[in-house]
């Protein structure tokens, strides 16, 4: 008899848990996600950092402190097994005032306590040796070489692909409407697509984890959204080689300046607390972006002209009551595990959270986990034309000419890349064709022109492969259709 597990939420936490639980012979794992694709919630828009683990106070936030450093170590392995785009470029936490050194000393001490290796405080000369473009006000820094960056959505996609290859079942566009509890035990999950039976329900619902918990009768915490806004600049603008942080304040790690993994200068985030009912407020604001600009300028004075921006965006972090990650089997509802309030450093901690959950299942729920004889830890990255040498492209073209045809001119994404993305979307159960699904897998539409050349071609490919009309293709799921009908629809009076 297999133990049935339902994971609610296919973000970085849910996907990591799905991957880890897919190792076990005696679990039947279902991954439930209300969005049309994976990783579209909190995981989508953040600073994409794999933090060093020095930041979280183990007395106040024991889960954050413990899981961050553990997660960092695991990501060093996971990015290789799963071929997730990454860079290990280290971070500088920059001091600009003498008294900042007190805080850096505190961070160093805390980092040592948390088990962070190889950190040290460096002087002005070494700071500029590592980062010549830094503000001249810099007088020193804390140097944390184990910090890195990954593609957060590519990471979720990789985890889910690997989980599915190992037997996990996905249910996308499936919104949880209730948790069935009988005699203090979970029995399953009610959804808009019917009932999913489960012996164990794992609540990894991000911003909505409090609402899901309440469906099971658990109401001791609340999640409120904290918004952060970002600027992303065109390629070819010189940015830092390391991740640059200001010396942190009690509420925030501060506005970061990075060159993100695709080579674009990125600045952000600020932090704005929103009321709990604004969990879908992802709008950028003039004030917020201004705040980010001013903050970033303090570290990196040579910001480009604002016209060189290619995108601004906002992300929401789920802030839980109490501030620490809530990861536990709830005693009053047998089989219900909360993985809630996974705010920063959630991306970093995700692999460690997943092992934590496996441990909870074994220890607290008494399910003896039996490893599969053949579990596949590997997943191959999607083909990226821009990473191939010309002679490799010619080898690919022999099998499929589409690999020679460029769809996205800014990022050199081929039609073959896009078709492969669509194939992979279908393989993990993506039902609604969305341009964003292709974007997150291929990088098409994310370049200088922001898709004005390639989006119509991607729409055509999605329409053909999904067998729908081009105007029914969506930008990001139902309600974001790219058109209202064929070009004569209004004149005929029969528009969609």
Partner 1 sequence: MEPMPQIPMLSYDVVVIGGGPAGMAAAAKAKELGLNVLLLDENDYLGGILPQCIHPGFGIHYFKEELTGPEFAARLAKRMIENGVEYRTSARVLEIRNYSDLEKVVIFTSPSGVYQVWAKAIIYAAGARERHAFEIGIVGDRVAGIYTAGEAQTLMDIYGVLPGKEIVIVGSGDVGLIMARRFALEGAKVKAVVELMPYPGGLARNVMILRDFNIPLYLGHRVVEVRGKGRVQRVKIVKVDENLNEVPGSEFWIEADTLVISAGLIPSVKKLKKIGVEIDPSTGGPVVNDRLETSVPGIFVAGNSLLINDLVDYVAEQGELAAEGAKEFIEKGGIESRKWVKVEKGANVRLVAPHYLSGDRDLYLYLRVSRPMENVEVRIPETGKKVRLPVVKPAEMVRVKLRAEEIRKAQERLTVEVVGA
325: its two tokens = 């990650």
Q: Residue 491 interacts with partner 1 (CB under 8 A)?
A: yes
Q: Residue 304 interacts with partner 1 (CB under 8 A)?
A: no
Q: Residue 477 interacts with partner 1 (CB under 8 A)?
A: yes
Q: Residue 494 interacts with partner 1 (CB under 8 A)?
A: no
Of these, 373, 391, 399, 467, which contacts partner 1 (CB under 8 A)?
Answer: 391
358: its two tokens = 């496996």
Of these, 25, 123, 185, 495, which contacts partner 1 (CB under 8 A)?
Answer: 495
Of these, 459, 461, 462, 466, which contacts partner 1 (CB under 8 A)?
Answer: 459
Reported as type and span, the H/E element at residue 268 is strand 265-268
d(CA 224, CA 234): 33
Query: What is the CA angle 68-73-77, rounded to 5?
Result: 135
Q: Residue 489 interacts with partner 1 (CB under 8 A)?
A: yes
Q: Residue 336 interacts with partner 1 (CB under 8 A)?
A: no
End-to-end CA distance of the chain: 48
Task: Tell me the DSSP string of 272-311.
Answer: EE--TT-TT-----HHHHHHHHHHHHHH-S-PPPGGGEEE
180: its two tokens = 């069935």
302: its two tokens = 């040579």
Q: Residue 464 interacts with partner 1 (CB under 8 A)?
A: no
Query: Please, which residue, 358 or 435, has the CB nearer to partner 1?
Result: 435
CB of 471 to partner 1, least distance (A): 5
Task: Using alpha carbons, select from 164, 163, 146 the residue that is nearest to residue 74.
Answer: 146
Query: Please, which residue, 135 or 312, has the CB nearer to partner 1?
Result: 312
d(CA 14, CA 6): 10
- Provide the phi-psi class of 37: left if phi over 0, else alpha when psi is between -120 and 50, else beta: beta
Query: Please, which residue, 251 or 487, has the CB nearer to partner 1?
Result: 487
For residue 336, list its beta bridge partners: 201
Query: Please, which residue, 121 or 475, has the CB nearer to partner 1?
Result: 475
148: its two tokens = 């890195």
Of these, 285, 321, 365, 465, which contacts partner 1 (CB under 8 A)?
Answer: 285
Query: What is the CA angle 47-269-316, rounded to 5?
Result: 75
CB of 147 to partner 1, least distance (A): 28
- Provide the phi-psi class of 450: left if phi over 0, else alpha when psi is between -120 and 50, else beta: left
Query: Please, which residue, 15 or 314, has the CB nearer to partner 1?
Result: 314
Reported as type and span, the H/E element at residue 107 is helix 100-114
Task: Residue 483: count other Cβ atoms within 10 Å of its Cβ.
Answer: 15
Secondary structure (3-state) at 62: helix
171 is catalytic: no
Q: Candidates 34-42, 98-106, 183-191, 279-287 — which segment interacts with partner 1 by CB under 8 A?
A: 279-287
d(CA 450, CA 472): 21
The active-site residue, picked from 51, 86, 171, 264, is 51
Q: Residue 293 interacts with partner 1 (CB under 8 A)?
A: no
Q: Candidates 69-77, 197-205, 318-326, 390-398 — which segment interacts with partner 1 by CB under 8 A?
A: 390-398
Query: Please, which residue, 1 or 491, has the CB nearer to partner 1?
Result: 491
Of these, 97, 105, 123, 280, which contacts partner 1 (CB under 8 A)?
Answer: 280
Q: Residue 470 interacts with partner 1 (CB under 8 A)?
A: yes
CB of 279 to partner 1, least distance (A): 12
> Within 85-144, which residues bind partner 1 (CB under 8 A)?
none
Task: Residue 125: count other Cβ atoms within 10 Å of its Cβ.
Answer: 9
Query: Please, which residue, 77 or 488, has the CB nearer to partner 1?
Result: 488
- What strand order describes the sheet that includes 194-197? 176-182, 185-191, 194-197
Q: Candidates 48-56, 186-194, 372-380, 391-399 — which segment interacts with partner 1 by CB under 8 A?
A: 391-399
How many residues sit in the footprint of partner 1 (CB under 8 A)?
61
Q: Residue 451 interacts with partner 1 (CB under 8 A)?
A: yes
The binding site for partner 1 (CB under 8 A) comprises 236, 280, 282-286, 289, 306-313, 385, 390-391, 393-394, 397, 401-402, 404-406, 409, 412, 414, 448-453, 455-456, 459-460, 470-471, 474-491, 495
Active site residues: 51
């Amino acid at each position: 008899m297999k133990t049935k597990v339902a994971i609610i939420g296919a973000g970085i936490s849910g996907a990591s848990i799905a991957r880890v639980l897919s190792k076990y012979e005696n679990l039947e794992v279902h991954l439930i996600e209300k969005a049309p694709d994976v990783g579209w919630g909190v995981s989508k828009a953040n600073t994409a950092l794999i933090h060093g683990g020095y930041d979280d106070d183990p007395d106040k936030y024991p889960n954050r402190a413990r899981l961050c450093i553990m997660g960092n170590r695991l990501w060093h392995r996971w990015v290789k097994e799963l071929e997730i785009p990454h860079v290990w470029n280290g971070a500088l936490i920059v001091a600009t005032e003498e008294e900042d050194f007190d805080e850096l000393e505190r961070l160093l001490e805390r980092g040592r306590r948390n088990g962070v290796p190889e950190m040290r405080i460096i002087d002005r000369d070494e700071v500029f040796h590592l980062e010549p473009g830094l503000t001249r006000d810099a007088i020193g820094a804390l140097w944390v070489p184990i910090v890195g960056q990954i593609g957060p959505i590519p990471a979720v996609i990789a985890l889910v692909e690997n989980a599915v290859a190992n037997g996990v079942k996905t249910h996308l566009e499936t919104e949880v409407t209730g948790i069935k509890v009988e005699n203090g035990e979970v029995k399953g999950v009610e959804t808009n697509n019917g009932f999913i039976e489960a012996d164990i329900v794992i609540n990894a619902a991000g911003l909505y984890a409090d609402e899901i918990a309440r469906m099971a009768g658990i109401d001791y915490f609340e999640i409120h959204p904290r918004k952060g806004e970002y600027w992303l600049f065109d390629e070819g603008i010189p940015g830092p080689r390391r991740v640059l942080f200001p010396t942190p304040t009690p509420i925030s790690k501060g506005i970061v300046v990075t060159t993100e993994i695709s080579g674009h200068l990125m600045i952000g985030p600020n932090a704005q607390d929103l009321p709990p009912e604004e969990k879908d407020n992802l709008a950028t604001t003039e004030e917020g972006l201004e705040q980010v600009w001013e903050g970033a300028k303090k570290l990196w004075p040579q910001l480009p002209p604002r016209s060189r921006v290619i995108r601004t965006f906002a992300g929401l972090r789920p802030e839980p009551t109490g501030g620490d990650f809530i990861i536990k089997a709830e005693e009053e509802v047998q089989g219900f595990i909360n993985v809630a309030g996974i705010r920063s450093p959630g991306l970093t901690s995700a692999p460690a959270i997943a092992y934590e959950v496996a441990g909870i299942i074994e220890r607290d729920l008494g399910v003896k986990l039996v490893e599969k004889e053949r579990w596949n830890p590997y997943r191959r990255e999607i083909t990226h034309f821009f990473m191939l040498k010309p002679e490799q492209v010619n080898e690919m073209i022999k099998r499929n000419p589409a690999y020679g045809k460029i769809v996205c001119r800014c990022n050199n994404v081929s039609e073959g890349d896009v078709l492969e993305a669509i194939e992979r979307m279908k393989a993990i159960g993506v039902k609604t064709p969305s341009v964003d699904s292709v974007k997150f897998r291929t990088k098409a539409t994310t370049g200088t022109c922001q898709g004005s050349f390639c989006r119509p071609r991607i729409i055509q490919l999605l329409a053909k492969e999904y067998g729908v009309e081009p105007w029914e293709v969506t930008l990001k799921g139902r309600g974001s259709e790219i058109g209202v009908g064929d070009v004569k629809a209004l004149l005929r009076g029969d528009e969609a």
